[in-house]
Amino acid sequence: MNQQGNSSGQGRGMGRGQGGRGGGRGVGPGGVCVCPNCGHETQHPRGTPCFEMKCPKCGAQMARK
pLDDT one-digit tens code per residue, 11-49: 565 555 444 444 445 666 779 999 999 999 999 989 999
CB 33 within 8 A of CB 44: yes
pLDDT at 57 over 90: yes
- Least Cα distance to 38 among 51, 56, 25 occurs for 56
Backbone angles phi, psi at 57, to 5 degrees: -90, -45
- Least Cα distance to 46 among 26, 30, 24, 65 occurs for 30
Quote the pLDDT of residue 28: 64
The pTM of this model reads 0.56
Backbone angles phi, psi at 51, to 5 degrees: -65, -15
